[in-house]
Structure 1
């Protein structure tokens, strides 16, 4: 599973050429990282600032970008380009930096402008006034995602409350009809759990303000179930029916695989046992309880492998794999998290089609920029942040950790450990903000579950269309996939019951900083264990540098003492510099103290007379020491 996820994320080949092999060393292209960070910052600012402030910020970004472009063209006109060794012309590095910074500012201005349009509905207009006043409304809304269960701690069984993201079409309040498209969150009873993405429903209830820093314009507390649905898309309706049939077809399994298998295949976690969910959360396996980027990478990798085994051209294989990934997204439900995971998997498709599989970091930055420009509200989503950090860790750290492993270790075994470890190193500091605890056996649990999760996803996904074509074959695949999913559940329950499975951790910023320090120390420890010879060479090199530094400091102090025979200060208070004790005068060679026979106790002038100089070590003293 993790190996496929690592391949789907698009690995970055950095420094993989052996020293002295003559192969060109590929450098990490980080130019797109600057625009990605700028767009992300502008998206977060758009959730907090007033539309007027966002407009000023947008104009400032655009103006600064224009100035950088003009500065770049003034300093480096097109006729003054630097030629490379191959005879090609390219601009200097400074011009490239200025151009990249200008592009980052222009993209940030676009993100700020998009955020200003959504902020106007949260701060101004009739809808904002109705939300602030808490009015009762009757609204026609479009369901924008799958319902999410709102379960209280310790509650078991069918959820009583649901949260559904919607887009408004019409809002009627106080005899006034508002036709606007704004994002709301509807919280209602059990009937809202049957809502299908894309359908139009009627909702009645009371508006209330959202939390600060969120992208929703308000929260609609529904007083009744959804009204008559109209315009249900056929694809979304079929996908919902397939998910329900898959849950029913898995009912013959044991309790743990019965609830876990639909979640790992179709993202339906309604039948998941609460004890199993708690165990998986304690050991850091919550990404397996629902569809994530790893699932999309597995499906995409299997489709690519099948297409390439049929010897299809590269573009045709990429097109078929992309179509299969789109159908998988429709099956799971086009939620924001699923779309993010699918886009991360599509990075592999773009990499295959372009023939540049080593540009994983650049493709990741492009995916981040595209998602944030489409929906700036993702900038404040912890799920989006964890998805990006996990992919970044796999791209940047995963390849290095795999290259560090000794040659006798199989490649798949190295990837099975390196991929979850690299993702956990970057995601750990953010996870402690959401859940202040340390999962001691998270790496162990994920390494054990990774070979079991791959057949669950692939066999379960293959069983979904077979439920319509050949139900008996689908039942057989579900039985086999259920066996593997029971192994995943057993792994979660076993590791969660080990001593110290979930240790308390500091909350807030102290917890983030301490976990960041632990991640750095863990990364350094892995490097030290995998490269003992380099560690020894590094220690010896540091020792030599320290000895050289001590020698330089000693030489400098002696020269300073010779140059200034008296201590600095007022002329009337200057005192002669203190001489070393008799017998401990400085000798020759590497700061050693030589032995002197001058024990008269006199205080001669500085520097010493020739007769008072210490005897060199190569000379022998006559009897009597004189």
Structure 2
């Protein structure tokens, strides 16, 4: 223990010195502009797109690197150093490869060990105690200046990885994105919604380089557990006539190749070490002696890279491996004693044990507990091995024979597509997860709950009927059929006509158009909340989606609207700005084969008892609008005896023009007003007086940076006799009845 503590202190001190020594930390505190020579230590990666207000935050390329030489701009003389940094490249205005025809940024093609010369501004890291000395912020659209190419192993790894991507180019979307991630951890093609689905079902470990990848390949050589040292050993090695020593040597070479191809950074080394431990368990059947082996691997890895001691990924990997070595064999034996088939018992025990130990840590990270993690992992596990083996076959053959690699990739697309379907289906279940306190106190509480569940579960295994009843109850919780949910929660209220979904700082509303049918107006900033809202409302068919304008807080949630539903037409404003969001909508519509149309004033439509008229924008505006807000599609809706006015995000100039239009007479005294622009202060008082709604609904996010809704707007609406409700305080809202029977329910 003393020796380990001394070694850990020495290693941590040396690594900490890299962060503090040299001129880089001081220059970062001054936000100095420097010219630096850097060596890349990781693959470039894109930040995930996110909504900031009404627009998409610009994408950035992130690369880990080491500064080897730095010179302040304007000063004479460069200083040799060795400081870890994070390079942040602002790619606004550059293509980044998300679209089918987009060309990737030149920064994304760089390989680790490449040396660059960059001129950038230094900034300190966001948090103290970070593993980097500074952030290098690179601006400008010029290609990187390369002063030294990558090393031979990295060029080989890059060629193999590029070959795998080329081999998967013709595959369906999910398989094309997932296969490189399953094989070598390349997640550059994984879409945000697919990534979110994997996180919600606790399948994200399949997208990272993990020990299971290596274990699958080595188990292919060694064969079934416990037979590696016997005459009856199986696997490919004895079929090829290889001795036990030759097999061990071949496994070592394969492990080395795995590390090279998947990049020799700490996460890959961790995967190789933990995978080797799991392999040792498979090969020898001596699970009890493997706990010291796992402890040794952890100790050596932490001494190699002390920052792993602060890595949640490392902690989860160690916990999962430990669960497979300790709990899983006991649980598997207990299941077999209760007549569960051996293969099913092993798979169920492995998934449940890993989940039991890892879930408290996952809850700290996501403040959520997945209820579908175990079944999703069980269903996905049957496809991981064939996908991995076929994917590695495509990886190896791609540089030699691309048609053969494409054939392997096509075969791998079937199990890979299955894994994606499992993740998407599990994530789509309305009761797939529950919120949980995202703290270590919450983790401790969850650990206690897990222990109780395990103890109760042991007793339930002896009572099949109780097990079946618990299974049915869990299924009902996961599926949450709308009729049952309505009886228990009262949401949605019977006979609802209009619903405003709580989607945060954005808009998403639904007009009832028959059983399971609704017209959706706007989609909010995030696919997940609007999808959850539509499922709660029981909407499965959408004859029309109206996107009032192309700001991100109204259209970025469109994939959630389209997910698993029959959609007829998407109607938008004719003012296609911002251009990137308009392109996003076109791409989503084309991917689902849904036609796009433009709305214009005077258009009238009817679906059953629901009818509406487009009041804005005019078909031939005299001048371009001041911005996307003033081009918002504005609807006057009739549902039975209920009249609703949906203003989109119209600003005062367009509101005043609307008052001067022929539609003025129709605006007087509506029942429900969807307040424009999330209740901002930019409202025309004359329009509020003319409309004089009985009920004013405002869609806004809790604690939003704009202060929506403005107190002046709320006061003006109340002065006209309106009852004002807002989603940030009242949650989702549903309107029922009409006239004197007008009611509003809250979720």
TM range, smaller chain: 0.5 to 0.7
Q: Distance in 2 between matches of 1:358 and 1:396?
A: 8
- The DSSP-based 3-state class of the residue aligned with 2:3 is helix
Residues 297-340 of structure 1 deviation map (CA, whole Å, 9 limit, x = unaligned): 11222233322443533332122112112212222222322221
**Contact persistence 1:300–1:345 (CA under 8 A):** no
Aligned to 1:184: 85
**Whose strand fraction is larger, Structure 1's or Structure 2's?**
2
- Tell me what 1:518 maps to: 449
Question: Could you list the per-position Cα deviations for residues 148-198 of structure 1 after superposition, in whole angstroms to 9, with x for gaps in the alignment?
Answer: 221232599998312111122212224342222222111114433222112
Residue 318 (structure 1) aligns with: 248
In the alignment, the residues of structure 2 paired with residue 121 and residue 471 of structure 1 have an alpha-carbon distance, to the nearest angstrom, of 44
Counting only pairs closer than 5 Å after superposition, residues 472-551 of structure 1 correspond to structure 2 as 472-530=403-461
Change (3 A) 1:306 1:168: farther
- 1:341 corresponds to 2:271: yes
Distance 1:453 1:353 in 2: 20
Q: TM-score, normalised by structure 2?
A: 0.54
Within-5 A mapping of 1:41-60: none
Over 3 Å counting, the alpha-carbon distance change for 1:499 and 1:429 in structure 2 is same
Which residue, 349, 365, 370 being the options, matches 1:418?
349
2:138 match: 222
For the residue of structure 2 that corresponds to 1:152, the secondary structure is coil
Does 2:385 match 1:454? yes
In the alignment, structure 1 residue 385 sits paired with structure 2 residue 302: no
Distance 1:130 1:294, change over 3 A: same
Alignment of 1:297-376 (within 5 A): 297-304=215-222, 305-348=235-278, 358-376=288-306
Q: 1:125 to 1:266 in 2, by over 3 A?
A: closer
Q: Which residue of 1 is the match for residue 118 of structure 2?
A: 203
* Aligned residue among 13, 17, 41 for 1:120: 17
8 Å Cα contact 2:216/2:389 also seen in 1: yes
Spell out, residue by residue over 1:465-515, the C-alpha distance to the aligned partner (whole angstroms, 9 max, x if none).
222333332222211110111111111111222231122112223321222
1:277 aligns with 2:195: yes
Q: 1:248 to 1:470 in 2, by over 3 A?
A: closer
Q: Are 1:233 and 2:151 counterparts?
A: yes
Label 1:356 to 1:504 Cα distance change in 2 as closer, same or farther (>3 A). closer
Task: Provide the rounded CA distance (Å) in 1 between the counterparts of 2:406 and 2:187.
Answer: 20
Q: 1:466 aligns with which of 389, 397, 401?
A: 397
In 2 relative to 1, CA 354–252 (structure 1 residues): closer, same or farther, beyond 3 Å?
closer
Q: Does 1:151 align with 2:81?
A: no
When Rg is computed on C-alpha atoms for both structures, the one with the higher figure is 1
SS in 2 for 1:181: strand
For residues 118 and 150 of structure 1, the distance between their equivalents in structure 2, rounded to whole angstroms, comes to: 27
CA contact (8 A) 1:158 1:270 kept: no
Match of 2:30 in 1: 133
* 1:347-395 deviation per Cα after TM superposition (whole angstroms, max 9, x unaligned): 2566789996542211111111111111111111111111111111111
Tell me how far apart the structure 2 counterparts of residues 370 and 350 of structure 1 sit (CA, whole Å).
Answer: 17
For 1:241 and 1:348, the matched residues in 2 are separated by 29
Contact 1:235 1:330 in 2 (8 A): yes
CA distance in 2, matches of 1:506, 1:312: 53
Distance in 1, Cα, partners of 2:370 & 2:285:
39
- Tell me the C-alpha RMSD between the 2 structures: 2.6
> Do the aligned partners of 2:200 and 2:427 also contact (CA within 8 Å) in 1?
yes
Structure 1 counterpart SS, 2:145: coil
Give the 3-state SS of the residue equivalent to 1:434 in structure 2: helix
- Retained in 2: the 8 A contact 1:149–1:159? no
Q: How many residues align?
A: 430
Alignment of 1:565-576 (within 5 A): none
Of the candidates 250, 257, 272, which is equivalent to residue 175 of structure 2?
A: 257
CA distance in 1, matches of 2:156, 2:188: 19
Alpha-carbon deviation of 1:108?
1.1
* Aligned match of 1:46: none
Matches for 1:586-625 after TM superposition, within 5 Å = none
Q: Residue 179 of structure 1 aligns to a residue in which SS? A: strand
Which region of structure 1 is more displaced relative to structure 2, 400-409 or 477-486?
Answer: 400-409
- Residues 303 and 324 of structure 1 are in contact (CA less than 8 Å); yes or no, is this contact kept in structure 2? no
* Pairwise CA distance, 1:202: 1.8
Indicate how the Cα distance of structure 1 residues 450 and 356 shifts in structure 2: closer, same or farther if over 3 A, else same: closer
Gap regions ≥5 residues in structure 2: 92-104, 223-234, 465-747
Bigger relative contact order, structure 1 or 2, given CA contacts below 8 A and separation 6+?
1
1:223–1:310 CA distance, 2 compared to 1 (3 A): same
CA distance in 1, matches of 2:11, 2:420: 43
Unaligned runs of 5+ residues in structure 1 are 1-103, 534-626
Match of 1:170 among 34, 59, 69: 69
Whole-Å Cα distance in 2 between the matches of residues 468 and 110 of structure 1? 43
1:87 equivalent in structure 2: none
Q: In the TM superposition, what is the alpha-carbon distance from 1:410 to its structure 2 partner?
A: 2.5
SS in 1 for 2:121: strand
Distance 1:192 1:441, change over 3 A: same
Do residues 428 (structure 1) and 346 (structure 2) align?
no
Give yes or no for contact 2:167–2:402 (8 Å, CA) kept in 1: no
Give the structure with the larger helix fraction.
1
**Aligned residue in 1 for 2:574:** none
Alignment CA distance shift 1:468-1:404 (3 Å): same
SS of 1:406's equivalent in the other structure is helix
Partner of 1:345: helix, strand, or coil?
A: helix
Q: 1:213 to 1:449 in 2, by over 3 A?
A: same
SS at 1:228 equivalent: strand
